[in-house]
Structure 1
Amino acid sequence: MSKRAAEPSDKELDALKGGERPAKPEDNPEIGEFEDEYEDEFESEDEIIEAGVDGRPDEEREAEEQGDGANWILITEAMEVDQQTFIPGRHKLSTGETLSPDASAYDMLHTLTSTWPCLSFDVLRDDLGDNRTTYPATIYAVAGTQAEYSRARENELMVMKLSGLSRMERDREDSDSSDDEGDEENADPILESKSIPLGSTTNRVRAHQCPPTSSSKPATTLTATMTEAGEVLIHDITPHLTAFDTPGMTLTPQQSKPLSTLRMHKSTEGYALDWSPLVPQGKLLTGDNNGKIFVTTRTDGGGWATDSRPFTGHTSSVEEIQWSPSERNVFGSASSDGTVRIWDLRSKSHSPAISLKISDTDVNVMSWSRNTSHLLATGADDGQWAVWDLRQWKPSAPTAPAPAPAPVASFDFHKEQITSIEWHPTEDSVVAVAAGDNTLTLWDLAVELDDEESRDTAGVQDVPPQLLFVHYLEMVKECHWHPQIPGTLMATGGGGFGVFKTISV
């Protein structure tokens, strides 16, 4: 069994929550570049690494599997199991109690940590097919690290392949699969990683996959990385992805250099970044802490051209930005000025068409539904998240944002800031929400309780019926649904990465 990394102290956790970078472990040779919370062993980059899923005692795991379906259960010092739903912000742990996931609530669950936190990442589409339901699963992703300030030169962009992701162990007496198929489903997970040096911490990273333009120009995968230094780096990670499945392939330093380094933000830090889903060759939006938004387009010659004139209107930092899923020239932005604004690239004034005040606190995140394009979800610093019907939003003066009409739905379940929000890629009523209370919650807006169900849940206070699931992940910062493996989520935070699929979605 491998040793676990030491748990962070309360002081270290407070520093992380305040935005400080963590100190890198210096003197523990047992800690590799990656380490799995469930006794997974991760060694160094560019190596294939065996990764177990659950290294706990059989008694503990069996006790969990006899649970009542709660997402998280309590484990005391004496390893006694208190099988009740634990709701962060409502319940508190007693001395000697820790949280442990209820295995019966998950179809798949894997957790791992990295040397430095990766507080932004993106899931990549692959060629393995859509609507995959078989195990073991394979996921490709890209993430940017956030090292402590004194070690900033160690930052990197990590291109990752996670394979052998097995389902949770269950009683297979009723399974139709053969023993060989069962053994394959329980294969050991493997993590492979390719490193691209950055030299600066990553605030946000997003990927874009360009279709082939001709037989001589195959499909490519691009990434855009917003760094703490105020630069936007564009990389072609196609060779790194190819290397995972090409034995003996060696990457050259040239292949890890950026295609372009964009400096239009003039050293101003930013967090807002999005690729257009409707411009195959690549069109990029970036927003900074001064409230400026720039548009960068890939030219026919393969270069990158940024409009010299920014879109302006926000009076504070642009926290999130997204292209419309259905309108090629339309995008939305969310800001710490409490507004959401809708823009049109064809506007000669470069000012927003719609400016609405939706919160008295920072609006941190937003997500535009890919299935129902008039629905927009937002999350704010006060822990509230809401869904808006854009058909109810009317043009307003850019300099005087109007009060927003009532949202379609609004929830104040979370007690800390909302850090990520994303619509399910195919279910137009399901939303994933991450928050500073160390939870990632799943919601179904279509759920309504009848009278009998309301009586059954009367003992659970302050829990909306639309809440499907609560997953615990320390200091979770960002979450994304996998577009090709239904119901599968990947998330990252100060406590590492989590990949899971629940039995409820």
Structure 2
Amino acid sequence: MSKRAAEEFERGNAPLKGGKRVEKADDVDGLEFEDEFEDEFESEDEILEAGVDGRPDAEREAEEKAEAMEVDQQTFIVGRNKLEPGQTLSPDLSTYEMLHALSTPWPCLSFDIIKDNLGDNRTSFPATMYAVAGTQADAKREKENQIMVMKFSGLSRNERDQDSESDSDEDEDSDPILESASIPLNTTTNRIRAHQTPASDSSRPPTTLTATMTEAGQVLIHDVTPHLTSFDTPGFTITPQHNKPLSTLRMHKAEGYAVDWSPLIPTGKLVTGDNTGSIYVTTRTQGEGWATDSRALTGHTGSVEELQWSPSERNVFASASSDGTIKVWDVRSKSRSAAMSVQVSETDVNVMSWSPLTTHLLASGADDGVWAVWDLRNWKPAPTPGASSKPTPVASFGFHKEQITSVEWHPTEDSIVAVAAGDDTLTLWDLAVELDEEEARGGEEGVPPQLLFVHYLERVKEAHWHPQIPGALIGTGESFNVFKTISV
């Protein structure tokens, strides 16, 4: 639902129906209309003084003001107002270029998009996407959990005016299809991330690896290349051997939620963090093995909620924690301590995103509903070991009133950010929008002018931009929503 549509949606106010205006008649079948003011007012001056409805101006103005206030209070803003029993929200399809919902047997509250060989900057429809996700089955049916390697296809454009210039002869109407190849697990997936390594032979596809942080505290590394191959190769069969992990890492002593692959190490380098505050770096070896550092990186006083490698420096990553800090680490440091530590929130810092284009910018999202943007050039090493500095963010937004569950920079537009929150909304923001004096005080209804779009998705947990289809997003919650707005 767009910002404009969310602001204009009013409860209980049905739209006026079009039709012919009824003309007033002075005489119908010989009957005359009675002059309602004939006995009450003696002169035309008295009528004008009382107003057209016969009431004093002050009384009429007071009622009109009260009615206006009542209408204003009924304005429904997604993420702010609560639905009443029996009410549902419907998207304004005119604001979407594409919108599809696809369901899985169990909720998948963590997923990642897999790049494909269908080309970059794709704009034709129907669209095709590949992804990997981990399920959260009911506790009584934990053995039904799985890693789902998925293919979304038949993702058609929303119906438009036949005369629209944006329609292409290449576009075709189709029904969305979700295909999946599953890897059985006996535990819940807390977080899953994918990484592609180049093939040794140019005629072969790249190898696609996944790292899964499980509720049991293990990190499972799988090669899901065969599962992806099965979608587009008739007769290809997945064997039990294909479902076995390449490696099971057991260095963590507690479950965790933080995992990230380095984008600058093609062969594969992994950083993982757990609820005790411990962080480990694991590197792929020449013998197809995996080597984990014997000593953990420590320094957080709370759980490690998010980890992200620098998009520009091979040995640097950042960590976000429930202790309210973000720390920046250099794996070459002999001290095994963070290079910088910054207090970014008084609550848990749940998520974080390092801008791939403007690499000195980092976005964070916290439990209090605030998400912020930080300029790393303003971060300085703490004056004493273990201490944290408190710089001022470049931008900070408190629009959401529930915890931030996902934040991610647009892959090609350096001012656009997608944010998901516990208020069941996935919002799109443009930081390039400048504030005037009124907007600096919060704007209409406290809605920041940088807010471009509001999409409703029940229990939304993660959202990722598709790197090869400009403006396309996948969000996961009660279901998968795949959409593209006309505003981004």
Report the TM-score, using the length of structure 1 for normalisation. 0.81
How many percent identity over aligned positions? 69
Q: Which amino acid aligns with 1:280?
A: P
Q: Which runs of 5+ in 2 are unaligned?
A: 18-70
User: Does the CA-based 8 Å contact 1:73-1:101 persist in structure 2?
Assistant: no
Pairing of 1:304-383 with structure 2 (within 5 A): 304-383=290-369
Distance 1:308 1:504, change over 3 A: same
Task: Report the more deviating stretch, 85-94 or 118-127.
Answer: 85-94
Pairing of 1:23-422 with structure 2 (within 5 A): 69-70=5-6, 73=9, 86-175=76-165, 181-182=170-171, 184=172, 186-214=173-201, 219-266=206-253, 268-396=254-382, 399-422=385-408
Q: How many Å separate the matches in 2 of 1:349 and 1:110? A: 50
Match of 1:489 among 473, 476, 481: 473
Q: Which runs of 5+ in 1 are unaligned?
A: 1-63
Distance 1:189 1:409, change over 3 A: same
How far residue 424 of structure 1 moved from its aligned partner, in angstroms, is: 0.3
Match of 2:449 among 465, 484, 505: 465
How far residue 397 of structure 1 moved from its aligned partner, in angstroms, is: 5.4
User: Does the CA-based 8 Å contact 2:307-2:317 persist in structure 1?
Assistant: yes
Runs in 1 of length 4+ with deviation above 6 angstroms? 74-82
Which residue does 1:58 correspond to in 2? none
Q: How many Å separate the matches in 1 of 2:135 and 2:348? A: 24
How far residue 218 of structure 1 moved from its aligned partner, in angstroms, is: 5.0
Q: How many Å separate the matches in 2 of 1:347 and 1:454? A: 45
What whole-Å deviation, never above 9, does each CA across 1:389-410 have from its counterpart, x for those lacking one?
0001011157533232100000
User: Does the CA-based 8 Å contact 1:201-1:228 persist in structure 2?
Assistant: yes
What whole-Å deviation, never above 9, does each CA across 1:75-102 have from its counterpart, x for those lacking one?
86999999x9742343233454321100
How far residue 356 of structure 1 moved from its aligned partner, in angstroms, is: 1.3
User: Does the CA-based 8 Å contact 1:293-1:311 persist in structure 2?
Assistant: yes
Q: Which amino acid aligns with 2:109?
A: L
Q: How many Å separate the matches in 1 of 2:124 and 2:9? A: 28
Which residue does 1:446 correspond to in 2? 432
Distance 1:76 1:225, change over 3 A: farther
Which residue does 2:62 correspond to in 1? none
User: Does the CA-based 8 Å contact 1:71-1:469 persist in structure 2?
Assistant: no
Q: Per the alignment, in what secondary structure is the counterpart of residue 482 of structure 2?
A: strand
Q: Per the alignment, in what secondary structure is the counterpart of residue 114 of structure 1?
A: coil
Which residue does 2:464 correspond to in 1? 480
Q: How many Å separate the matches in 1 of 2:150 and 2:11? A: 33
Distance 1:384 1:68, change over 3 A: closer
Q: How many Å separate the matches in 1 of 2:417 and 2:265? A: 26
Which residue does 2:26 correspond to in 1? none
Q: Per the alignment, in what secondary structure is the counterpart of residue 104 of structure 1?
A: helix
Q: How many Å separate the matches in 2 of 1:329 and 1:68? A: 44
Which residue does 2:50 correspond to in 1? none
Q: Which amino acid aligns with 1:235?
A: H
Q: How many Å separate the matches in 2 of 1:332 and 1:454? A: 33
Distance 1:169 1:177, change over 3 A: closer
Distance 1:310 1:177, change over 3 A: closer
Q: Per the alignment, in what secondary structure is the counterpart of residue 90 of structure 2?
A: strand
Which residue does 2:68 correspond to in 1? none
User: Does the CA-based 8 Å contact 1:72-1:102 persist in structure 2?
Assistant: no
Q: How many Å separate the matches in 2 of 1:464 and 1:79? A: 28
Q: How many Å separate the matches in 2 of 1:189 and 1:132? A: 17
Which residue does 1:423 correspond to in 2? 409
How far residue 199 of structure 1 moved from its aligned partner, in angstroms, is: 1.0
How far residue 124 of structure 1 moved from its aligned partner, in angstroms, is: 0.6
Q: Which amino acid aligns with 1:288?
A: D
What whole-Å deviation, never above 9, does each CA across 1:238-263 have from its counterpart, x for those lacking one?
01101100011111010111000000
Q: How many Å separate the matches in 1 of 2:279 and 2:360? A: 23
Question: Once superposed, what is the RMSD of the aligned Cα atoms?
Answer: 2.7
Distance 1:393 1:147, change over 3 A: same
Distance 1:214 1:85, change over 3 A: farther
Q: How many Å separate the matches in 2 of 1:241 and 1:80? A: 52
Q: How many Å separate the matches in 1 of 2:16 and 2:282? A: 57
What whole-Å deviation, never above 9, does each CA across 1:305-336 have from its counterpart, x for those lacking one?
11111111001100000000000000000000
User: Does the CA-based 8 Å contact 1:73-1:99 persist in structure 2?
Assistant: no
User: Does the CA-based 8 Å contact 2:191-2:259 persist in structure 1?
Assistant: yes
What whole-Å deviation, never above 9, does each CA across 1:37-96 have from its counterpart, x for those lacking one?
xxxxxxxxxxxxxxxxxxxxxxxxxxx99x9755995686999999x9742343233454
Computing the radius of gyration over CA atoms, which structure comes out larger, 1 or 2?
2
How far residue 386 of structure 1 moved from its aligned partner, in angstroms, is: 0.4
Q: How many Å separate the matches in 2 of 1:218 and 1:501? A: 28
Q: Per the alignment, in what secondary structure is the counterpart of residue 99 of structure 1?
A: coil
What whole-Å deviation, never above 9, does each CA across 1:169-221 have from its counterpart, x for those lacking one?
1111234757x645x1x112111110001111000000000012345875200
Q: How many Å separate the matches in 2 of 1:220 and 1:306? A: 21
